[in-house]
Chains A and B, each alone.
Chain A
Amino acid sequence: MTTDNSAGTSVDTPTLSAADFANDAASASLGDSFRAYVDRIRGGDMGALPAVLGLVVLFVVFSALRPDTFTSNLNIANLLTQAASISVLAMGLIPVLLLGEIDLSAGVTGGMAAGFTAVAIERNDVHWTLAVLLGVAVGALVGLVMGLLVAKLGIPSFVVTLAFFLGLQGVILKLIGLGGSVAVRDDVLRALTIKSMPVVMGWIVVIGVLASYGALLFWRQSRLAAKNLQRPPNALLAIKFVGLAVVLLAMTAFLSQNRSRVPTFVIEGIPYAVLVVGVLLIFWTFVFGRTPYGRHIYAVGGNTEAARRAGIGVDRLKISAFVICSSMAAISGMISASYTGSVSPGSGGGNVLLYAVGAAVIGGTSLFGGKGLIRDGVIGGLVIATIDNGLGLLNQAAYINFIITGAVLLLAASVDAISRRRRSATGT
């Protein structure tokens, strides 16, 4: 009915735009957006800010305590590789968390999927590509079954995934054998975490990513400007872009130095695991930020009933989120197996899952659903890996490590809960 019908109210937009959607008019100034950002934070919407600040603090503290080891090229590269499996698992968990659900089995699912891959390669001589596909397929299958149980039977995801957490450990035990382990000796799989991209290739990838990102920002901004729709100030975009460019270029330069301790052997370049994380980050950010599918996931997390009434297939979305989570868990399990060089019955158990949930929450994803970004998993994964790595260098007893990581998770969950209360109070 909007424009062409009946008398009276044909669209009088031009006269409206000035006053009525005042905040949308033209582009705001840098100061305005900064004030809006401060308001958002005070209103409880902190996003990844605590994680980024935490990362800075951790780096300062560990650099001060272990100046010669923590900031060495070798350790930083190692830290990034350590973070890779946590980040991938956390990125996988985020769709499930966005729905307000939880997957407690993700770590074990990853261990089991990596077990299938390793057994296929080592004991059955399957080519690594097929073995990796097998592992991901096993993960996806686990996710499908859990998703069906949650969506169709209506069992709380907490219970379903807890049952799988226990049950799948039995499957790994049967697969690998009590007390045994399967070595991961495949050249390609091992290279994922112990080899790095050639220096030139690293630069090409990083510069390519930056150029594409810059072009995308510019293109989107000019289209918004052409239609005079709401958009961030150009200066803000420039700051964001330059900030990202500085971080990525500095990291590449840092990793492009030879970090080998042995003069005869050169280790340089960006670890392949970092590339894998980057590709997954870009892919899922696109899916959850720019497609109707992603939008619907957020909608279900925000108000399931509203989503259902809008014609969204809630059950199918739930199932798909569990499939994504378990498939990503499989990839994470393989990265982890590549790093340790073997899969054992304990792979993916212990604190693996809590690290990943902690990473997502620290990064700014809410446990209450509806709020979070894929990048939270990567930022949070870096925080967790830094704590793990730094405490390891301090030669603390294992118990300190557990207590501190637990405390950090609790702190992040508290920040999440408090910010949620502030959001509902201030309505931002």
Chain B
Amino acid sequence: MTDHTLLELRGVNKSFGAVQVLHDVDFKVYPGQVTALVGDNGAGKSTLVKTIAGIYRAESGEFFFDGAPVQIHGPKDAAALGLEVVYQDLALCDNLDIVQNMFLGRETVTNGVLLDELSMEDRARTTLASLSVRTVKSVRQNVSSLSGGQRQTVAIAKAVLWNSKVVLLDEPTAALGVAQTRQVLDLVRRLADQGLGVVLISHNMVDVLEVADRITALFLGRVAADVKASETNHSQIVELITAGRSGDIGISAATANQSA
């Protein structure tokens, strides 16, 4: 689509004590595209997402947002830029309803202290409707009564409620059935079609190939490849994930061994 990146990371390094988890990671997110982030367990996917979200601080590396260099010192900075993360273990409160969850921590108030339930309910409904979420019977039902797919939908809707520009989804379909996975993937696609930069972390290659525009494969903390989804296939991605290289793309065997 476009060469202009919404979010770009260059040369990001991150260690936990003696263990270096991310090695010179370059990562690009384009507006209107779904960028899949794939890799084996321990490849550094979640660390990378948490670094972007400001939960971890990178030791070195540059961040660019909309082409301009930015610093992310904490989750608040990330949120201020319009970066929202939907975590694997859904960050929803079972004892609150959909509206209350979507506005949790950022409630609208009137007169300085009173919760403005009307405008919150209104906005929640508008957002869900704009995402064509059609399976929820009431926005005032408790989250505990929702199915896994519906909960994931609410978590995603919560992330896009705040005029976010980049949404990072950590394994959004991991615990879902077939129909629910369908719902969520459709939603992921719609987010990108609305012009957002979407990052999808997934283990499921079928999902990734179906919905992603670009695929970034991580291998032992290094970027093995950044390829267009239309120019690759299932077995090539699996090779990139498991061996770090496939044919003439990927990282050299020497580099791979060095980090192992």
Contact = CB atoms under 8 A, between A and B. Distances in A.
B106 A311 contact: yes
Contacts of B195: 1, 5-6
Contacts of B132: 9
A299 B93 contact: yes
Nearest to B55: A309
Contacts of B38: none
A292 B134 contact: no
B134 A427 contact: no
B144 interface: yes
A178 interface: no
Contact of A1 (B90, B114, B145, B163): B163
B249 interface: no
Nearest to A19: B134
A243 interface: no
Nearest to A292: B107
A302 B5 CA distance: 38
A12 B190 CA distance: 14
A115 B165 CA distance: 59
B163 A292 contact: no
Contact of B130 (A3, A298, A311, A423): A3
Contacts of B100: 295, 299
Contact of A303 (B94, B109, B113): B94
Given A13-B129, A310-B104, A20 B193 contact: no
Given A22-B137, A291-B115, A8 B193 contact: yes
Contacts of A305: 89, 91
A20 B127 CA distance: 13
A307 B122 contact: no
A324 B165 CA distance: 40
Contacts of A318: none
A37 to B, nearest CB: 14
A296 B109 CA distance: 14
Contact of A2 (B32, B96, B161): B161
Interface string B121-159: 111011111111110111111101110000000000000
A290 interface: yes
B130 A292 contact: no
Interface in B207-255: none
B194 A8 contact: yes
A370 interface: yes
Contact of B92 (A6, A303, A371): A303
A20 B134 contact: yes
A301 interface: yes
B88 to A, nearest CB: 12
A260 interface: no
B161 to A, nearest CB: 7
Contacts, number: 148
A309 B160 contact: no
B118 interface: yes
Given A2-B127, A312-B104, A427 B92 contact: no
Interface stretch (A87-95, A155-163, A221-229): A221-229
A412 B118 CA distance: 36
A424 B75 CA distance: 32
Interface in A36-82: none
A262 interface: no
A11 interface: yes
A1 B164 contact: yes
Contacts of A224: 118
B104 A299 contact: yes
A302 B144 CA distance: 10
B104 A306 contact: yes
Given A9-B193, A23-B138, A303 B118 contact: no
Contacts of B139: 21, 24, 230
B96 A298 contact: yes
B76 interface: yes
Most chain A C-beta atoms within 10 Å of own C-beta, residue among B79, B95, B115: B95
B188 interface: no
A1 B196 contact: yes
Interface string B49-86: 00000000000000000000000000110010000000
A351 interface: no
Contacts of A24: 125, 137-140
Interface of A: 1-3, 5-6, 8-13, 16-17, 19-24, 223-224, 227, 229-230, 290-292, 295-296, 298-299, 301-303, 305-307, 309-312, 370-371, 423-424, 427-428
26 contacts: A2-B123, A5-B194, A5-B195, A9-B130, A10-B130, A13-B125, A13-B129, A17-B129, A19-B134, A20-B136, A21-B125, A21-B138, A229-B118, A290-B113, A291-B114, A292-B109, A295-B96, A295-B100, A298-B96, A299-B100, A301-B95, A306-B90, A306-B104, A311-B75, A371-B95, A427-B145
Given A8-B193, A19-B134, A295-B104, 19 more contacts: A2-B126, A2-B127, A8-B194, A13-B126, A21-B138, A23-B138, A24-B137, A223-B118, A227-B122, A229-B122, A230-B121, A291-B109, A296-B104, A296-B105, A299-B104, A302-B93, A307-B104, A310-B104, A311-B76
